[in-house]
């Protein structure tokens, strides 16, 4: 067993209590490869933001869980030897079994999500409580989920949104002992979150549900999944250089700013990073068809991703200068 503290990682407890008090949200960025990891860590170090590095099922399948975990350990050497280190949590995104959560905890993750939202309520409670019991013995944080987001959650695809029922949250938190709760208030995974006509803005999130949840579990950290903004500048760049992302729409930055000021303490962003990398790679390859050196198109993609992360932390989540 490697405990996360041996690698210099932190759990999310203090991150969330500070975020709650300070009225901002900690960014949770997904990584699948070296360039994403470098960009996320550099962007958060430069903006002095706390960071949750998260690893999904897709990432584990693509890059191997052990390799990703050692990449995170390498990144921590850089973080902790920097002039101004930041707290970093290594988090399992959408864990779906007890065994997976245990294997992550045993190899150095400091936080795990157990997503039992596809199960019946009582089964979700039982699975989540079992993970919490094991995780808390090792001082590892646990995120649970109530309600279902439309779109794809790892391999599971849901047609329709099932908003979180505020009547369930108090009971769920009490019975499971989770440290944070992911809720469904209108966001969804991926780059097609809302169907809107050209020129129309996407519908607002269900802040009424969030407010009701805050009343039932005051001061409890809430997590927002599916929170990419699908920034038009990158969608347009992708389409300009041969891509075909029609009707891609995300959560507006105003909505995220409002959420970050509330009990929402963790905001999950994956698709925005993918869009940046794809846009820059398309542009680079199109502008220089002779380029066959991945460093010469992935490097600029990484630089752009750093800038996106700094801007997001500073202007949307409010996490910059909080570390």
Residues assigned a catalytic role? 93
C-alpha distance from residue 85 to each of 79, 148, 316 (Å): 5, 36, 22
Which three-class secondary structure state does DSSP give residue 3?
coil
| Residues 1-60 within binding reach of ligand 13P (CB under 6 A) | 30
CA distance 11 to 305: 25
Which of these segments, 73-81, 100-108, 125-133, 262-270, binds ligand 13P (CB under 6 A)?
262-270
Based on the shown chain and the rule CB under 6 A, indicate whether residue 94 belongs to the binding site for ligand G3H.
yes
Taking Cα atoms as reference points, which of 180, 195, 261, 274 lies closest to residue 225? 180
Q: Pick between residue 59 and residue 281 the one whose CB is nearest to ligand G3H.
A: 59
Q: How far is the CB of 62 from ligand 13P (least distance, A)?
A: 15
- Count of residues in the chain: 323
| Residues 119-158 within binding reach of ligand G3H (CB under 6 A) | 153-154
Answer for which of 93, 143, 214, 272 binds ligand G3H (CB under 6 A) is: 93
Which of these segments, 116-124, 170-178, 234-242, 270-278, binds ligand 13P (CB under 6 A)?
270-278
Q: Which residues pair with 144 in a beta bridge?
A: 181
Q: Pick between residue 79 and residue 227 the one whose CB is nearest to ligand G3H.
A: 227
CA distance 73 to 90: 9
Residue 228 partner contact from ligand 13P, ligand G3H, Zn ion, none using kind-dependent CB cut-offs of 5 to 8 Å: ligand 13P
Residue 269 partner contact from Zn ion, ligand G3H, ligand 13P, none using kind-dependent CB cut-offs of 5 to 8 Å: ligand 13P
CA distance 61 to 16: 29
| Residues 177-206 within binding reach of ligand 13P (CB under 6 A) | 189-190
Is 236 exposed, middle or buried (CB count within 10 Å of its CB: 0-12, 13-18, 19+)? Answer: middle
Taking Cα atoms as reference points, which of 69, 72, 143 lies closest to residue 106? 69
Based on the shown chain and the rule CB under 6 A, indicate whether residue 30 belongs to the binding site for ligand G3H.
yes
| Residues 176-195 within binding reach of ligand G3H (CB under 6 A) | 189
CA distance 302 to 38: 8
Q: Pick between residue 60 and residue 283 the one whose CB is nearest to ligand G3H.
A: 60
| Residues 222-241 within binding reach of Zn ion (CB under 5 A) | 225
């Amino acid at each position: 067993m490697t405990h996360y503290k041996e690698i210099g990682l932190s759990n999310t407890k203090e991150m969330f209590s500070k975020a709650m008090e300070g009225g901002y949200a900690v960014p949770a960025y997904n990584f699948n490869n070296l360039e994403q990891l470098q960009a996320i860590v550099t962007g958060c170090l430069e903006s002095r933001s706390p960071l949750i590095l998260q690893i999904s099922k897709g990432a584990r399948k693509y890059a191997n869980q052990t390799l990703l975990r050692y990449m995170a350990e390498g990144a921590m050497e850089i973080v902790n030897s920097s002039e101004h280190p930041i707290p970093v949590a290594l988090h399992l995104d959408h864990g779906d079994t007890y065994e997976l959560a245990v294997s992550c905890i045993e190899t150095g993750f400091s936080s795990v999500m157990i997503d039992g939202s596809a199960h019946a309520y009582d089964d979700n409670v039982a699975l989540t409580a079992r993970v919490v019991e094991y995780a808390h013995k090792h001082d590892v944080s646990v995120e649970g989920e109530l309600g279902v987001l439309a779109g794809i959650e790892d391999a599971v695809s849901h047609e329709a949104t099932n908003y979180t029922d505020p009547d369930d949250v108090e009971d769920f938190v009490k019975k499971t002992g989770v440290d944070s709760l992911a809720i469904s208030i209108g966001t969804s995974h991926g780059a097609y979150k809302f169907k809107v006509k050209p020129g129309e803005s996407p519908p607002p999130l269900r802040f009424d549900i969030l407010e009701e949840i805050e009343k039932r579990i005051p001061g409890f950290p809430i997590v927002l999944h599916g929170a990419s903004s699908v920034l038009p500048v990158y969608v347009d760049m992708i389409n300009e250089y041969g891509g075909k992302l029609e009707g891609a729409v995300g959560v507006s930055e105003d909505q995220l700013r409002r959420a970050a000021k509330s009990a929402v303490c963790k905001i999950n962003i994956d698709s925005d990073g993918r869009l940046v990398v794809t846009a820059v790679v398309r542009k680079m390859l199109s502008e220089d068809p002779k380029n066959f050196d991945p460093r010469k198109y992935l490097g600029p993609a990484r630089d752009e991703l750093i800038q996106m992360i700094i801007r997001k932390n500073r202007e949307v989540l409010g996490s910059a200068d909080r570390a």
